[in-house]
A and B are shown apart, each in its own frame.
Chain A
């Protein structure tokens, strides 16, 4: 297996960046053609969408990544979503994060390419073609946007924070809604400064890394939604945790990023109170003690 020292990582980063640029150009072409909405298919529900461009972009990105590192594993949204994330070096790719935004021609959609080793991200690339912003990070070497060092806002006070939340598209059962709207209510009443909802995990995490948002959390995400974002946020000085406040796990389907650990712990209080750890309606009735127990385990 290839050694992952810094020079190697830089090489992989260059490859990932050029793959992301190529993918971004394909997305811009599609914006210009204005035909994304003609190839929309519904995945799990009529709010969970995929277009033919997702598959095209993924093929393009994976071909390049496989050529530069043939022995790495691949986990990707469209064609390799069933692959298990192992300890081996693995490319984690989301060809178009924020597909619904992409279909509606919103700027908030991006290409996400991450490299995970021992289930931790070590390299991340995020390209937002409509804003022409390229975010990159290598573990231990800082996060960059278009070549300039970025830093999170460092906000430590939830009442001064702009928080981004996500309304689930995967599942909208009554208990799921009760939980997310409960969190929404608690945050508004706290009061936080503002609540936003962007709709793309990747872009929202970039905003946290850049300091435009102070916190973001979501339940129901997949590794490819967060792998690149995790390392970019962490290298920008933010924190990436589980929604219950524990250590972050790429495959746990939970993420909370914040500009500081103080802010994360204040946010986690609200999330724990509403047991916001799963979208599984069956698993809803967990008491406060159980939630605490779960937190200690993780």
Chain B
């Protein structure tokens, strides 16, 4: 069996791309002739259609693929749909994904060619002839559209997401409908930003990889509908903005599997700051784990500062101090109130107008009521000592007083 190292995969990719282009040209010819609807046949139901073009395109693609890799297995929609997907390298081909759209002359139909090894996609090609968009991906080497790197939207909030769903054509029993419409209802009520329905698994997955859609799901698909899409979506990675104090921000695209140290090399290319002098902060926290995967991090607020720079602006990593301060933060507000009270207490104490200055004994002395010699700074004058009277003597004195004749 042929080894599947990178150079081999590139060769297979080139073959698959030229097969996809040829297939796309055939589809465009058919669009121009406008006769797809004349050869429509119904497969499982009257919503599950196939045309003679599906078979023609499949034959064309499979001939090329078999010529370049004769020992690979083949699973394809029209002629080899019963083949079991094994661990061996297998071409997984959907000649025209979105046949119904194709019949109705909609742009959303494509050629899908995937290569699966051990039931995982390692290579994917998707060509959308009407939009002239060719998507390719090889495992570990990123996803491309017409030669340019692509990235998914990175949207993390379902209320801001555009979700694509699919109304089944294979089976439309009452329970199936209840379930898909239930999901539909829950999404609308969530609420998601928008629901779309495109009708081609391949094109919808390309939209997710490209960042035009945020999510897509479907039940009832076959391997050929998703094999190429899986690897392209997975390789599409993401993108985020890197901010610098006092300078323009720049956007960075990353792959799955890229780590912080890869990010530092890219930042060095853009800014010229050597990796060891980069102070990297994500949401205010210092990034120090060099081996951390970028896809596992929250990349919404990335700042980079030059450690060699000692100017006062350097510390201003926070993008918007007003926004940060406006957040309701109970402990911080408590601290503010407490220190305000302390300040007021101290100031009034110094000014001598603090009614609670002598707490807990009670209000401060009013010095005007105090005899002059007892006020601070004066020498107290000698006063007669108070007589101390024993209780028994006091009793005697009272008796003596009572014996005295009335005046």
Contact = CB atoms under 8 A, between A and B. Distances in A.
Interface string B198-228: 1100000001001111100000000000000
B348 to A, nearest CB: 49
A46 B159 contact: yes
A207 B108 CA distance: 13
Contacts of A288: none
B114 to A, nearest CB: 24
Interface string A158-201: 01101000010100101001000100110011011111111100
A193 B106 CA distance: 14
A281 interface: no
In this complex, the interface size class of chain B, counting residues with CB under 8 Å from chain A, is: 35 or more
B191 A46 contact: yes
B195 A167 contact: yes
Contact of A197 (B153, B196, B212): B196
A106 B210 CA distance: 10
A273 B160 CA distance: 33
A174 B100 contact: no
B104 A107 contact: no
Contacts of A160: 46
Contact of B196 (A193, A199, A207): A199
B278 interface: no
Contacts of B381: none
A104 B107 contact: no
B172 interface: yes
Contact of A194 (B167, B207, B211): B167
Contacts of B169: 193-194
Contacts of A159: 46
A104 B181 contact: no
A281 to B, nearest CB: 13
B196 A188 contact: no
B185 interface: yes
A195 B100 CA distance: 10
Nearest to A194: B100
Contacts of A185: 177, 181
B172 A197 contact: no
B194 interface: yes
A212 B199 contact: no
Contact of A181 (B104, B184, B210): B184
B131 interface: yes
Nearest to A193: B47
B188 interface: yes
B259 interface: no
A197 B191 contact: no
Given A177-B185, A181-B185, A188-B167, A45 B47 contact: no
Nearest to B106: A212
A115 interface: no
Nearest to A106: B212
Given A47-B191, A188-B167, A198 B196 contact: yes
Contacts of B188: 167, 172, 177, 181
B45 interface: yes
A194 B184 contact: no
A271 B107 CA distance: 28
B191 A104 contact: no
A191 B106 contact: no
Given A46-B160, A100-B194, A213-B104, 6 more contacts: A104-B213, A107-B131, A162-B104, A177-B185, A197-B197, A212-B106
Interface of A: 45-47, 49, 100, 104-107, 131, 153, 159-160, 162, 167, 169, 172, 174, 177, 181, 184-185, 188-189, 191-199, 207, 210-214
15 contacts: A47-B191, A100-B162, A104-B212, A162-B100, A167-B195, A169-B193, A172-B189, A172-B191, A174-B189, A191-B45, A191-B47, A194-B169, A194-B199, A199-B196, A211-B104
Interface of B: 45-47, 49, 100-101, 104-107, 131, 153, 159-160, 162, 167, 169, 172, 174, 177, 181, 184-185, 188-189, 191-199, 207, 210-214
The 6 A-B residue pairs with the shortest CB-CB distance in the complex, in nearest-first order = A197-B197, A195-B167, A167-B195, A194-B100, A100-B194, A181-B181
